Structure 1
């Protein structure tokens, strides 16, 4: 393990820049923070470039697969400069952005996201897609940055469990239909849900922006559009909550 104590060290400067999207994209790197996210990332150790420890960090980490990962220790004051949380756990990992190319399979289950701007919503949607066993999530224009700290925290490690790619959604929908994958849009003018889950072996669900929903252009490409009934006085459901209801409705319950 190497010791770094100067804020002018080139690695510190690079890691600090990774809090901004411009530099994340340029370096192909992003930061995750805390024990849980690190442990999830270590399930795919090739995705981790470096691990940074606060000088006072203590953990039973003897079984962590870090042999091929650079490890650094820094003074607490310097660690605070890199941390983005109110109560840091003393460990940060520098991760590599993966190749975002995703092959669409005929028997796959997918989520398409059109312009979801809130990082917390996007992260929760990704986590829900992971819990539901989807093969991939496709992000269209206008979505929050996948590697925003709030997206990462809300996703709770799902970045390391499933494929996520930024795409042109209209082209992706056309590819799915060529592969006989039924594409479900979400619309206030869609048909109401049936009471029994679909138990679909393949599907794609298209979710839209928090305020405006899915664009009319994309809705015109779907096979069927659905809506979740509102029984009370609320105007609408949160998009992440809607994702959970619809994904499990489509996925079905297999016992």
Structure 2
């Protein structure tokens, strides 16, 4: 099948997925670029349509994966269609329309010894995506996005995950409900604070731990802070007041990985 006109009704629906209200209404999101589409296919995400630039042809990296995917439509489109559906100034030669999965099971995060990164009001999509990527790299068991966080399916968030959103559970949840449940299952709730009791390098990250990171401007909310079991500090030698949320989360995750054994979870 080929679609050449950016005014085509289907193209308009695809392009609308750049906005959250349309993603919510359609229950779908858009993934752009060869690498991210490849990750979606390898993870067996529910890809509805794979659209590729007719002039450039189907990317070789994806061609070999198509046989294993059932129920997916492939559509050749014009450069104008690609441009209309793109969120970047330099459009990628391929994009996919993916149906949203049901929210990842919270149970996967409540097991003994689970390491979970929890975001409270982190509004920057780049930071949210980077933290998901770091959690994946450090072998965390999952990421929880509390209310007020950037949308997981925002194209900027998706790009920043570099495919990691397909590798581990990412749960969107109300922290007021989920954090007490985590504690009931034996998790220690840990946040960062300039008034922290321990350095992140003397804190024991072994066992079930949920690490809470808030927004750069406000930190975690008072409601979330009231549920925290322990605050720790990331020591700094220089004159910077604080760290970017993604950097702080990455430091905690990799110290946890080091303590828990780099080759085991």
What TM-score range do you get, normalising by the shorter chain?
over 0.9
How far apart are the structure 1 equivalents of 2:63 and 2:112?
A: 42
Q: Is the 8 A contact 1:184 1:223 kept in 2?
A: yes
Q: CA deviation at 1:190?
A: 1.3
Separation in 1, partners of 2:106, 2:150: 19
Q: How much does 1:202 deviate? A: 2.0
Q: Classify 1:229/1:72 alpha carbon distance in 2 versus 1 (closer, same or farther; 3 Å).
A: same
Secondary structure of 2:149's partner? coil
Cα distance change, pair 11–186 in 1 and its aligned pair in 2 (3 A): same
The answer to whether the 8 A contact 1:52-1:72 is kept is yes
TM-score of the aligned structures, taking structure 2 as reference length = 0.90
Of the three residues 87, 91, 105, the one matched with 2:94 is 91
Displacement after TM superposition at 1:167 (Å): 0.9
Output the CA distance in 2 between the equivalents of 1:211 and 1:194. 21
Moved over 6 A (4+): none
Q: Give deviations 1:211-242, integer Å, cap 9, x for gaps.
A: 01012221221211111112111111111000
TM-score computed with the length of structure 1 as normaliser:
0.93
> 1:156-213 CA distances to partner (integer Å, 9 max, x unpaired)?
0111111112111122111111011111112222123154573513211010011010
Q: What is the number of equivalent residue pairs in this alignment? A: 254
Judge conservation of contact 1:201–1:251 (CA < 8 Å) in 2.
Answer: no
The runs of 5 or more residues in structure 1 that have no matched partner are none
The gaps in structure 2 that reach 5 residues or longer are none
What SS is found at the alignment partner of 2:96? Answer: strand
Please provide the CA RMSD for this pair: 1.7
Equivalence for 2:228:
222
Question: Partner of 1:145 in structure 2?
Answer: 151
